[in-house]
Amino acid sequence: MALRLETEIQYIKGVGPKLGALFSRHGIRNVLDLLQNYPRAYEDRRAARNIASLQEGDVVSLRARVMSVSSYNMGRSTRKIYDVLIRDNTGQIRCKYFRTPYKGYFERFQNGQEIRVVGKVTNYRGRLEFHHPDLKDVEPDEDLKDALIPIYVENEGLSSAKISKMIQTCLNEVKEWPQEKLPLSLVQKNRLMALDEALYRLHCPEPENGHLYNEFKSEAHRRVIFEEFFWLELYLASKRSGLKSEKGLAFSAAEPSVKKLADSLPFKLTNAQLNSYREIKKDLESGKPMNRLVQGDVGSGKTLVSFMAALKSFDSNYQTCLMAPTEILAEQHYKNAQKQLQELGVVTGLLTGKTKTKERQEILDKLQNGEIHFLIGTHALIEDWVQFQNLGLVIIDEQHRFGVAQRGLLKNKGQSPHFLIMTATPIPRTLAMTVYGDLDVSIINEMPEGRTPIQTRVINESKRLPALDFMVSHIERGRQAYIVYPLVEESEKIDLKNATEEYEKLKVQFPKVRFGLLHGKMKPAEKDAVMTDFREHKLDVLVSTTVIEVGVDVPNATIMMIEHADRFGLSQLHQLRGRVGRGLHKSFCVMIMGYAVSQETRERIEFMERTSDGFKVAEFDLEIRGPGEFMGSRQSGLTGFKMANLVRDFEILKVARDAAFDILHRDPLLKSKENQALREELMKAYGPTALAGIA
Ligand code: ADP
Ligand code: MG
């Protein structure tokens, strides 16, 4: 049977239904899927090596014998390390696995068995080791020395060699190749390799370019990576131009209340705040819907900027709503709004999940007759019954917690209301371009005057007591503190116990200190009571899970102690740290690490001692943890890359992005003949709404 791109796997010679089913469980259904299952590395057999000659950083392939296979627990956790000791006649070396590739991976190996090891040599505490190398049976055709052999991700029952063999069959027998969809001029201008050639090369690389292939830097790689980025950017570009072509509300240029607020503040707005507001003002008066993201580090004063926008909406006789990710935060905004906006005549309402039915009815009435100007709440705002008289502006705080869908639902509550989105997760430049490619961005890169930098210390568990004493000494001087415990989903119960147990212990240990406990499982009213007590300084220390991560603002709190800091991502640590350093007193952040953390983790966390710049933290986090951290539920397309990597391939991303925006700029409706394939592909990939602005 002739193979076509959509031919199912099971019809490939030597496959059959059983293997076919195995493949489709891993998302590979047809010939095209298989061809797009790119090698994750290449084994260079020309560089035959022995163990004694290994050096840190070498990527090598060598033959050796198994001496032992063992496993043991990692520190005190239940995670297992697998350890395979191998030798040749020059020496021995360990192969370590911190996550098991799959069940049974190690059962294949017997002591004394000859194997081939492919991997990178790592220096671990002065000793050379392999971490997660590939261990393979020695093949009979090993003397094929001059080859660059593709290595595929292995799964149970699907060895790299088996996958490779199937792909080679396809390459030989397939009767068609994926069609070029990019316009010829684009391909030429960027000197891109033809798509079919790139696909072929990735599976059958030229050995002389071995190093390029292993670094994802061959021309074949560049071609495929470019295309993956290009589709996403084209989508974002079209969405953006769609948004820009919509009609929106034009707010009036007169803004007496905004002026009054600015004049009444006990401090000066920072230049960054002023600039952001200026950009917002321009958008709001333009007659086109605003879609603006304000990015600013924790404590940079985003709330105030958003209140100014709300006042501008008020001055133009429109209503505003503000959605926050947690009840605590919604209430804090509500209290601030009452404090700062009430005397300007703004009537504010609060709506959360705990608002009683009777109250809700009242709010609904006041919303519909325009009595409430500014509604603040949690995602309860999205519910159907929340109907405005004339919603003009939607503010979303800490956007990364919400999805795009929710933005859409809020949008329908008005006639093209303006959108202002605020985030304190500084998104690395790389990601902002892609994740928020459809939004305009304002950056608040300046802290209000008079803040003293937070001093950060990373310590071991053994120093915990002195750290607590340090905390108490500050409490005796009238300051307040947080102690935060991680809440990791899979072990939620244990962690909860951690915070609660610790709270009980601390009360006994320091009877003079007033402790409060806050965690996600408490009733909203209880949470609220604790938070209020803390804010009013009826409590000295808040023992908490990460519910306080975002937004909470208590300027008298100057100590943040984070337990098990090794379990947090850096951006999260940065957020937590941002809860202190909000007032005039010097603040401290103490990050406590367990005994059993790896060198790598230790270095990662110690990075926090050196920088207080959220953007730097985010860049670093992105490098080591990948983009998932920043995505929320925003762009599933972004994590769907088969080959592209936002950090490694940033340079290609920039080019692809410019190309996409340029094409749409010159041919906004993608009408030209050359762009037909783009138009069709965009529709196919993202549905007809992707082109709503264009069509
Ligand atoms: P974030 O950007 O993290 O949301 P907030 O809006 O909560 O920060 O502001 C943090 C604190 O800084 C608040 O107490 C706020 O009143 C104060 N603040 C905002 N702008 C200024 C300013 N220009 N000068 C001094 N303090 C400010
Ligand atoms: Mg905030």
Strands 374-377 and 319-323 come out as parallel
- Residue 400 phi, psi dihedral angles, 5° rounding: -60, -10
Contact 457, 431 (CB under 8 A): no
Per DSSP, 193 falls in state P
User: Whose CA is closest to atom 13 on ligand 1?
Assistant: 301
The whole-angstrom separation of Cα 591 and Cα 537 is: 24
The whole-angstrom separation of Cα 157 and Cα 572 is: 39
Structure tokens at 289: 């819907």
How large a percentage of the chain has pLDDT more than 90?
40
426 lines ligand 1 (CB under 6 A): no
CA of 347 to the centre of ligand 2 (A): 21
CA of 304 to the centre of ligand 1 (A): 7
Structure tokens at 466: 């002195």
pLDDT in tens, 250-295: 999 999 999 999 999 999 999 999 999 999 999 999 999 998 989 8
258 lines ligand 1 (CB under 6 A): no
pLDDT at 413: 86
Q: In sequence order, which ranges of 485-555 are alpha helices (DSSP H)? A: 492-509, 524-535
pLDDT at 341: 96
The whole-angstrom separation of Cα 235 and Cα 217 is: 25
How large a percentage of the chain has pLDDT more than 70?
88
CA of 397 to the centre of ligand 2 (A): 7
CA of 551 to the centre of ligand 1 (A): 10
448 lines ligand 1 (CB under 6 A): yes
| Mean pLDDT of the region 364-374 | 96
Instruction: Put the strands of the sheet holding 557-562 in their side by side order.
Output: 455-460, 588-593, 557-562, 480-484, 541-544, 515-518
Closest CA to 33 of 154, 199, 148: 199
CA of 305 to the centre of ligand 1 (A): 9
CA of 530 to the centre of ligand 1 (A): 23
The answer to whether residue 630 scores a pLDDT higher than 70 is: no
296 lines ligand 1 (CB under 6 A): yes
pLDDT in tens, 292-351: 989 888 788 999 999 999 999 999 999 999 999 888 889 989 999 999 999 999 999 999
300 lines ligand 1 (CB under 6 A): yes
The whole-angstrom separation of Cα 560 and Cα 588 is: 6
Enumerate the β-bridge partners of residue 460. 593
What's the one-letter identity of residue 44? D
Print burial letters for 299-325: b (CB count within 10 Å at least 16), e (below 16).
Answer: bbbbbbbbbbbbbbbbbbebbbbbbbb
- Mutation test residue for ligand 1: of 263, 264, 265, 267, the one with most atoms within 8 Å of CB: 267
Q: Cα 390 vs. chain centroid, distance in angstroms?
A: 35
pLDDT at 688: 61
The whole-angstrom separation of Cα 66 and Cα 130 is: 14
Ligand 1, atom nearest to 296 Cα:
2
pLDDT at 632: 42
| Averaged pLDDT score across all residues of the chain | 85
- Mutation test residue for ligand 1: of 446, 552, 553, 587, the one with most atoms within 8 Å of CB: 553
* Ligand nearest to the CA of residue 330, numbered in listed order: 2
* Ligand nearest to the CA of residue 575, numbered in listed order: 1
pLDDT at 549: 61
The answer to whether residue 626 scores a pLDDT higher than 70 is: no
Per DSSP, 619 falls in state H
Ligand 1, atom nearest to 582 Cα:
11
Ligand 1, atom nearest to 270 Cα:
23
Q: Half-sphere exposure of residue 280, counting CA atoms within 13 Å on the CB side?
A: 34
248 lines ligand 1 (CB under 6 A): no
pLDDT in tens, 494-508: 555 578 888 999 999
CA dihedral over 313, 315, 317, 321, signed as positive or negative: positive
424 lines ligand 1 (CB under 6 A): yes
pLDDT at 695: 38
More confident residue, 46 or 401: 46
Q: Which pLDDT band holds residue 509 (cuts at 50, 70, 90)? A: very high
Residue 162, SS3 per DSSP: helix
Instruction: Go through the domains of the chain in sequence order and give each one's CATH number.
Output: 1-40+154-171 (1.10.150), 44-151 (2.40.50.140), 177-245+652-695 (no CATH), 256-444 (3.40.50.300), 455-611 (3.40.50.300)
Ligand 1, atom nearest to 302 Cα:
2
Ligand 1, atom nearest to 444 Cα:
2
pLDDT at 242: 73
Residues with Cβ–ion distance below 5 A, ligand 2: 551
Contact 376, 348 (CB under 8 A): yes
The whole-angstrom separation of Cα 679 and Cα 312 is: 39
What's the one-letter identity of residue 618? A
CA of 445 to the centre of ligand 1 (A): 13
The answer to whether residue 243 scores a pLDDT higher than 90 is: no
Ligand 1, atom nearest to 553 Cα:
7
The answer to whether residue 468 scores a pLDDT higher than 90 is: yes
| Mean pLDDT of the region 580-593 | 91
302 lines ligand 1 (CB under 6 A): yes
Per DSSP, 556 falls in state T
Closest CA to 235 of 601, 682, 607, 588: 682
Closest CA to 265 of 292, 296, 294, 303: 303
Q: Half-sphere exposure of residue 12, counting CA atoms within 13 Å on the CB side?
A: 34
CA of 325 to the centre of ligand 2 (A): 10
Closest CA to 298 of 428, 194, 422, 476: 422
The whole-angstrom separation of Cα 267 and Cα 449 is: 9
pLDDT at 429: 64
User: Whose CA is closest to atom 26 on ligand 1?
Assistant: 448
- Residue 124 phi, psi dihedral angles, 5° rounding: -115, 110
Q: What is the 3-state secondary structure (H, E, C) of 311-370?
A: HHHHHCCCEEEEECCCHHHHHHHHHHHHHHHHHHCCCEEEECCCCCHHHHHHHHHHHHCC
CA of 93 to the centre of ligand 1 (A): 55
The answer to whether residue 412 scores a pLDDT higher than 90 is: no
CA of 298 to the centre of ligand 2 (A): 7
582 lines ligand 1 (CB under 6 A): yes
The answer to whether residue 682 scores a pLDDT higher than 90 is: no
CA of 618 to the centre of ligand 1 (A): 21
CA of 268 to the centre of ligand 1 (A): 11
**Could you count the other beta carbons within 10 Å of the beta carbon of residue 100?**
14
267 lines ligand 1 (CB under 6 A): yes
Cβ-based burial of 271 (10 A; exposed 0-12, middle 13-18, buried ≥19): exposed
- What residues have CB less than 8 Å from 58, skipping those under 6 apart? 49, 120, 121
Contact 251, 312 (CB under 8 A): yes
Highest mean pLDDT among 143-152, 192-201, 237-246: 192-201
User: Whose CA is closest to atom 17 on ligand 1?
Assistant: 301
* Ligand nearest to the CA of residue 302, numbered in listed order: 1
Ligand 1, atom nearest to 578 Cα:
3
pLDDT at 633: 35
553 lines ligand 1 (CB under 6 A): yes
* Ligand nearest to the CA of residue 582, numbered in listed order: 1
What's the one-letter identity of residue 574? H
User: Whose CA is closest to atom 23 on ligand 1?
Assistant: 269
The whole-angstrom separation of Cα 115 and Cα 677 is: 48
Element (H, E) at 109: none
pLDDT in tens, 55-108: 887 778 888 999 988 888 766 666 778 889 999 888 999 998 877 666 677 777
CA of 574 to the centre of ligand 2 (A): 14
The CA distances from residue 369 to 332, 356, 378, 388, 389, in Å, are 26, 20, 22, 8, 6
pTM value is 0.67
* Ligand nearest to the CA of residue 301, numbered in listed order: 1
Q: Which pLDDT band holds residue 451 (cuts at 50, 70, 90)? A: confident
The whole-angstrom separation of Cα 395 and Cα 132 is: 46
- What residues have CB less than 8 Å from 329, skipping those under 6 apart? 397, 398, 550, 551, 552
Ligand 1, atom nearest to 269 Cα:
23
Per DSSP, 389 falls in state S
Dihedral of CA atoms 183, 188, 193, 197 in degrees, nearest 10, equals 60
